[in-house]
Chain A
């Protein structure tokens, strides 16, 4: 099996090229498929010839059957069975090829996503990526399984049919040969128009999809405003817009199909009329022999539609190619994102972290700085509050300290030793980070807490208690085995956040980074939670909390970030 590498795919100039490269993975299967296709055409030609001979013999010499006839019947039956069985092998090979290609594409994309890490978020939404790696890549099945092999057969099969027709005479193959180039010519013209319409259609589809998912998510806002009927109308309008643009594409796509249909029908008509007049001796042209038997007529008439058959099949697969190429464009956009360059050797932080110093640390995305450089110390046993208006870079600072983003300048020191924390596994094992939007997998609470590592139920409940979430888990239908769903099921935003917090406690970090942990808690719970944090700090942990709320006395240090001047730091 051939392999594709990410670097070759990145160099593709467009989606089409990417598809061609990816198609090469299944080169071997495609070769076999071509072989089987040729075999099938050969069988068709032989079957036609046998039909022609048998009928011819019966019509002209109504004598007793010649001895060769019995073997002709046997051969005919055998060939018919062979032709019926061949598609099974073809399907199996084609499926194997297509699964191969899609598996490798998925692997390459996932590998690249692992390199890109948080850089992904800047360019793609999670829904977009989820669709890309499920329905979009899956939808290229028809392209790799059917379109690619058929593309080669669309050249070979007509050639074989033409050669077979040469057995009788030269005019029919000539007619076929002359009409053949017209087909791709028209199809290119139509296809060009259709591709444009197809892109417009895809835009309409995306719009409709976004509108639907957005309005269903926000259905309660519309219900509260009593305006669901109006929204139904606007959804209907968008749906109708999509119908119009789809019909535009189909009008063109069907046109190319109709064109092939036309050539196929007209070739039968032409061959029939030509042969009829030839039999009636109206003219003598285009045949090798002077007196023409019926067998030639039967042979030519039956083969004429077969000439266009592979092209018609290819035309029917037109949509597969259009779909695949838009998926490929999407893939290419993702693959061409550059990961943040890998950093050199990763230092291991000291066994006991006493102090973390930020030295003129400038955070930001890519080259865009967010906020001002910050210098401060986070000490063992202390809780630090990070505050400031939204957009000033609190979350970015936490992301950076978690080693998820590289700092633009400045450095971080642990116990006076500078350390590169970006993407540093050893560092990340030592911290616990709870983000503003609680991140939970569509899985049981247990799995969400353990994330594939082993913990006893007792440990889990300890962590849940610390996060003020034990009661809430007990009230759920299946307690620890309750499955979190996409819409959260019975979990509210605040509850999901507390589960995420329990996970942070469970893995016993040295440094806790908490983004707005109390935003969804009531006074009582917030106070109990702060008490828990103080316990954690007293046991030798370091805590950094970001919050909108006003500074209160229980913090050891408050860092007030501001957009246009350097941070104010006050100590308790």
Chain B
């Protein structure tokens, strides 16, 4: 069983109070519904027969059945309401937990080697995860209620007319076991295909709308629109096939149930003629069957719903990386006198590449001066940064941090990501910093005047559509984050791209003053920004 399905049931077990309440109420509701019909049927048949003779009519106690009928109709109504609330509550709680736990799983992994498809991941965690609710809501609850009701039904029939019960075993087994299995076989396949096709459709739509300029200029807008319409049509056809398959199974079920009704009537009338059954009970048995059939109809998709939820959880589970990454960096005693990074025989090769990006690199880095990586693109500047930050693991060699801990390494990546939220949130990222600290950091990277002209300063919401920082501003925001984190090892990947030379020089000078006694490694295309005593680190 996939890890995530296990986890789902663990979480459901944690919500067992609410979950079993839902199941109990669902059972009560189903049984009251069936009983309401049956008792009413018996009541009018009995009164009709009693009404034939004056004496019998006079002596008929109609209060008790009347009260039972009223009671059942009330318990059915309120049972239904309670059942729905309880089952939904239980399942949504499970999903909330599952969603945030899954995010945590993603966050524990480094995605530098095999980039995470962010659209796929977020749509799995937002929409796909809701299919998981069907495991309990549309599979366990209706399935169990169906089985229980069927057993009780059979027992009741056997009590009144044993031969009928024998007749009914076969069609009932068919409805309760064969139909759900058939449903599973027929519906699941097209349903999965549909899911994939809808994903392709989204991809085509996204291709269209994120390439508007290119498509207009190359006169391909209508071509791409047609591609989208086609993929939508393909998915629509599958959708139609799915609902057709579902309906075919339903029809088979309906036919079996029609046969059951005829059986009940036929055997009932025979029993009546043979004196085995009272006249008042024929109609009751018929209504009992009708009531059960309503329950079976909702239950017949239970297995398919189970499989659907199972598959969804499987898909979501596939997001989490197959192999665990083990941090191979070594961290030695905090008591060492000098903090150092010692690199020995480092080699790294990307999984898709033939040649190693970094091979046989050895170096000792200390706090005496800054180290510059200036080799051209493709020589592994970013790769080295990511190896140092523990985002990639080398195939060979060792990185040893002397006198340092893993959480003492700060890195500014080449692509600084802006998160939706206020400027304050983007600077703090869940850490606590005072306003004074924030302004000071902004001042260091010369973002203070930009921040001051924002409508709500630190509390201005940044993001697409409102206040989107330019490339250079974003880089400086990334630097400000790093200044605030205040760590003894600093890795800066292309910190000055998109910032003009004079400003870059001013900012780097301030950082030189601030970051004394730290290990600083910086990768850049601009050699002219190097200070006199900085050192080159060649790859």
Contact = CB atoms under 8 A, between A and B. Distances in A.
Contact of B282 (A58, A250, A485): A58
A118 B51 contact: no
Contacts of A429: 219
Interface string B138-158: 000000000000000000000
B77 A265 contact: yes
Contacts of A477: 352
A532 B211 CA distance: 26
A102 B205 contact: no
B353 A475 contact: yes
B295 to A, nearest CB: 14
Given A258-B77, A404-B217, 15 more contacts: A103-B236, A127-B119, A222-B429, A227-B429, A227-B430, A243-B95, A257-B80, A262-B77, A266-B73, A298-B41, A302-B287, A390-B472, A486-B117, A487-B116, A492-B382
B96 A247 contact: no
A277 interface: yes
Nearest to B471: A519
Contacts of A192: none
A221 B419 contact: yes
Given A250-B85, A442-B206, A221 B417 contact: yes
A516 B83 CA distance: 61
Interface string B253-276: 011011001100100010011000
Contacts of B211: 439-441
A537 B123 CA distance: 47
Interface string A215-250: 111111111111111111111100110110011001
Interface string A33-69: 0000000000000000001001100110010000000
A129 interface: yes
A287 interface: no
B262 A273 contact: no
Interface in A104-135: 106-107, 110, 113-114, 117-118, 120-121, 125-127, 129-131, 133-135
A334 B275 CA distance: 73
Interface in A487-529: 487-490, 492-494, 500, 503, 507, 516, 519-526
Interface in B490-514: 497-501
B44 interface: yes
7 contacts: A55-B265, A58-B279, A59-B279, A130-B202, A235-B99, A236-B100, A266-B77
B420 A210 contact: yes
A410 interface: no
Contact of B96 (A230, A243, A276, A301): A243
Contacts of B46: 276
Nearest to B127: A135
Contact of A217 (B43, B92, B110, B118): B118
A535 B497 CA distance: 26
A309 to B, nearest CB: 10
A550 B502 CA distance: 10
Contact of B51 (A134, A224, A247, A281): A281
B258 A228 contact: no
B417 A220 contact: yes
B193 to A, nearest CB: 15
Interface residues of A, number: 155
A401 to B, nearest CB: 11
A451 B106 CA distance: 35
B321 interface: no
B96 A431 contact: no
A91 B119 contact: no
Interface stretch (B1-9, B62-70, B360-368): B62-70
Contacts of A302: 287, 290
Looking at chain B's contact residues, the main secondary structure is helix
B57 A281 contact: yes
Contact of A110 (B214, B229, B240): B229
A212 B76 CA distance: 40
Contacts of B248: 88
B434 interface: no
A126 B206 contact: yes
Interface string B356-390: 00000000000000000000111000100000010
Contact of A221 (B122, B429, B471): B429
A402 B213 contact: yes
A428 B217 contact: yes
A271 B123 CA distance: 50
Contacts of A503: 214
Interface string A190-215: 00000000000000000011111111
Interface residues of B, number: 158
A65 to B, nearest CB: 9
B217 A228 contact: no
Interface in B305-358: 350, 352-353
A257 B83 CA distance: 12
A89 to B, nearest CB: 9
Given A118-B213, A258-B80, A280-B51, A212 B126 contact: yes
A138 B500 contact: no
Interface string B194-221: 0000100111111111111110111111
B239 interface: yes
A25 to B, nearest CB: 15
B45 interface: yes
B485 interface: yes
Contacts of A255: 81
Given A120-B212, A217-B417, A452-B223, A87 B279 contact: no
A273 B66 CA distance: 6
B422 interface: no
Contact of B88 (A250, A279, A451): A250
A439 B208 CA distance: 10
A538 B205 CA distance: 40
A380 interface: no
A243 to B, nearest CB: 4
Nearest to B33: A265
Smallest CB-CB A-B distances: 10 pairs: A84-B254, A265-B73, A272-B40, A80-B258, A213-B122, A218-B417, A228-B107, A236-B100, A230-B430, A279-B47
Interface in B463-520: 464-465, 470-473, 481, 485, 497-501
Contacts of A277: 47, 62
Contacts of B352: 476-477, 490
A549 interface: yes
Given A126-B210, A390-B470, A493 B415 contact: yes
A61 to B, nearest CB: 11
B525 A254 contact: no
Nearest to B426: A221
A486 B206 contact: yes
